[in-house]
């Protein structure tokens, strides 16, 4: 299983647009995933296609729109639902 802390680090390393976010905590850990303060429409495919521990993030997490601000919500799937 991939931890949200590892995903947070990989987003900061692989997604260059996150460096241009000047809001506090551009990537925030949550209980079952994390919230990324980037526009969903422009960046969700980049987030879903990034590599984390040999997996595509879109294969091990649900990438959704955070309804309040249009940010990206990454909900990590439980290990039992990841098909190898």
Domain encompassing residue 14: 4-81
pLDDT in tens, the chain (84 residues): 788 999 999 999 999 999 999 989 999 999 899 999 999 999 999 999 999 989 999 999 999 999 889 999 999 998 776 665
How many domains does the chain contain in total?
1
Q: Can you give 2-71 as a three-state secondary structure string? A: CCHHHHHHHHHHHCHHHHHCCCCCCEEEECCEEEECCCHHHHHHHHHHCEECCEEHHHHEEEEEECCCCE
* Model pTM score: 0.88
């Amino acid at each position: 299983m991939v931890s949200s802390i590892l995903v947070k680090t990989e987003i900061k390393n692989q997604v260059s647009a996150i460096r241009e976010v000047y809001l506090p905590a551009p990537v925030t850990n949550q209980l079952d995933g994390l919230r990324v303060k980037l526009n969903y429409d422009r960046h969700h495919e980049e987030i879903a296609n990034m590599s984390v521990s040999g997996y595509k993030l879109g294969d091990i997490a649900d990438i959704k729109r955070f309804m309040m601000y249009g940010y990206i919500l990454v909900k990590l799937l439980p290990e039992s639902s990841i098909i190898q």
